[in-house]
Amino acid sequence: MSMDNSEIAKAKYEEAVRKLVLRYLLVAFLVFLVGGVMGILIRLSQSSPYLNPSLYYRFLTLHGVSMTGFIILALIGIGWLVIVKMLNIVKPIWRIELVFWLIFVGYGLIAVAILVGKFATGFPAMPPLPVISAGGWPRWAASVFFIGLATILIAAITFFVEWLLAAHQLVGGIGEALGLDAFVPNKSISHLHSPAILALTAMSLVGVFAEPIGIYLLANLFIRNINPAFAVDPMMAKNALWMFGHTLVNILFWGAFSIVYLLVPAYTGREWKAYRLLVGGWLVTIVTTGLTAFLHHLSMDFAIPFQLLLFGQIATYVSVIPWAAVSVYGALTRIWKSGIEWKPAPRFVYLGLFGFMIGGTAAFLDATIGFNRVLHNTLWVPGHFHSYIMMGSALFIFAAIYHFLPDLAGKKLGPSRLPLIHYWLTLVGGLGFLATFYLAGLLNAPRRFAEFPFAQLPQGINFIINTSIPFAAVFGLGQVFFIYYLLRTLLAKERK
Partner 1 sequence: MSIQAYIGLIYLFIVIALSVVFLLVWKGSKPKVDFERYHDRFSRIGTIWLVVLIAIGAMFTLATLPLIHYPGVAAPLSEQRQIVKVDAFQFGWVIEPKEIKAGTQVEFVVTSRDVNHDFGVFNANGVLLFQVQAMPKYTNRAVYTFDKPGTYKVICLEYCGLAHHVMMTTFEVVP
Residues 457-476, interacting with partner 1 (CB under 8 A): 457-458
Q: Does 266 bind partner 1 (CB under 8 A)?
A: no
Nearer to partner 1, 424 or 449 (CB): 449
Given candidates 23, 86, 128, 428, which one binds partner 1 under the rule CB under 8 A? Answer: 128
Which of 329, 173, 193, 346 minimizes the C-alpha distance to 259?
Answer: 346
Q: Does 493 bind partner 1 (CB under 8 A)?
A: no
Residues 220-259, mask of contacts with partner 1 (x by CB under 8 A)? -------------xxx--x---------------------
Q: Does 115 bind partner 1 (CB under 8 A)?
A: no
Given candidates 37, 442, 477, 490, which one binds partner 1 under the rule CB under 8 A? Answer: 442
Residues 289-328, mask of contacts with partner 1 (x by CB under 8 A)? -----------xxxx--x--xx--xx--xx-xx--xxx--
Pairs from 182-187 (Cβ < 8 Å, separation ≥ 24) = 182/274, 182/275, 182/276, 182/279, 182/280, 183/276, 183/279, 183/280
Say which amino acid occupies 259.
I
Instruction: Tell me how far, at minimum, the Cβ of 264 lies from partner 1, in Å.
Output: 11
Within its chain, how far is the Cα of 72 from the centroid?
Answer: 7
Contact set for partner 1, span 337-356 (CB under 8 A): 337-340, 342, 350, 353-354
Q: Does 373 bind partner 1 (CB under 8 A)?
A: yes
Q: List, in order, residues 6 or more apart from 163 with CB less than 8 Å away.
A: 79, 83, 200, 201, 203, 204
**How far is the CA of 231 from the CAs of 131, 164, 216, 236, in angstroms?**
12, 36, 14, 11
Nearer to partner 1, 11 or 236 (CB): 236
DSSP 413: -
Given candidates 24, 29, 32, 57, which one binds partner 1 under the rule CB under 8 A? Answer: 57
**How far is the CA of 211 from the CAs of 198, 233, 241, 291, 321, in angstroms?**
19, 19, 10, 12, 25
Nearer to partner 1, 138 or 446 (CB): 446
Virtual CA dihedral for 248, 439, 354, 397, nearest 10 degrees? 40
Given candidates 452, 481, 482, 485, which one binds partner 1 under the rule CB under 8 A? Answer: 452
How many chain residues touch partner 1 (CB under 8 A)?
Answer: 80
Nearer to partner 1, 355 or 476 (CB): 355
